Amino acid sequence: MKNQIYLDNNSTTQIDPDVFNYMLPYIREKYGNASSSTHIFGREAKEAVEYARAQISKLINCDKDEIIFTSGTTESINLALKGTIENSGNQRIHIITSVIEHSAGLEVCKYLEKYGIEISYIPVDKYGIINPDDIKAKIKKETVMVSIITANNEIGTTQPIAEIGNICREENILFHTDAAQAFGKIPINLKYLNVDMISFSAHKIYGPKGIGALYIRKGKKKPAVQIHGGGQENSMRGGTHNVPTIAGFGKAAEIARNKIMNEFTVHTIRRDRIIQNILNKVNGSFLNGHPVKRLPNNINVGFRNITNSVFINKYKEFAISTGSACSSETLQPSYVLKAIGRTKEEINSSVRIGIGRFNTEDEINYLIKRITEDYK
């Protein structure tokens, strides 16, 4: 085995070598500005941007002009929520979200509350699943948007997005979802989902960091611009296009589209094998999140006889985490695990394992062997 095995693929992923090689010409040779149409360098850059837009749209089955490039999921969420509020025209505004959103969504909501926006936070059950009826019960005439994460970044639980979307469509309310974890991992077909806006990033699907997108359904009122400038991205987001990362994003989406069903199957089998071995062979172990309705590559388990910091230090050969990468520096107990009813002791004994495209069968077997044989 190599010195360390990377198992934190819900935090970020290794860039796929094919993606990296695809990006290089746009760094070295095709370095034009996509807004400069008077010469070949600019036209090549523009073609790369539009081709990437088409590649991404094919992965989620939407029109390419419904994709707006951003710097990542966080910016996309900010644009979706703040922009929608700014463009609503309502004097009183109400948003419905959940208690287990990524911090990118929750922090925006906390910010909006300072300016008089009413936010309803929907609870979850012991598996981290939202009851769509709870959302329906909270809807009122001031409600302008529902924003629910597709799959939780810590416990991997997936939400009933189709049902929630149907409710929003019936009530004529905008529906936004943070799909950073789900995009490219589980099938998303926007021709059959009543979702109006989706936020996602490249670095969760073996693409470059610093590039993401916001899908905005055609025909829906667009959010107000949050970054003003030169009118790029159909006047939705100013700033010179980062052509190399956009090209890489497109390539990563193309690869994901070709691999998604096979990887879904392989990761699910490996995920379940890891979970079952730990639960069956390690005394005091438990699973966080739903056993079936979860991301194919996410394992979040706890060990009642050892803290997660001691566990991670004991198994230094594995790059794993205690939960969300965005909150790992705060040293605060996970609000997601607290929301599903875990005690402080259980929270402090839980770790997240994220398997990925470049993990081998030998690495998975070694992980299982080390944990089940060494810690009982």
Which residues are known catalytic residues? 326
Longest dimension (CA), the chain: 68
Q: Which amino acid is at 203?
A: H
For residue 84, the Cα-to-chain-centroid distance in whole angstroms is 20
Which of 229, 225, 160, 228 lies closest to 195 in space, CA to CA? 160
Inter-axis angle of helices 243-281 and 361-374, nearest 10: 40
Q: Closest by alpha carbon to 107, among 330, 301, 341? A: 330
DSSP, residue by residue, 63-79? -GGGEEEESSHHHHHHH
Residue 186 contacts residue 295 (beta carbons within 8 Å): yes
Beta carbons of 253 and 184 less than 8 angstroms apart:
yes
SS3 call for 83: helix
What is the SS3 assignment for 199? strand
Closest CA to 101 of 140, 145, 166: 145
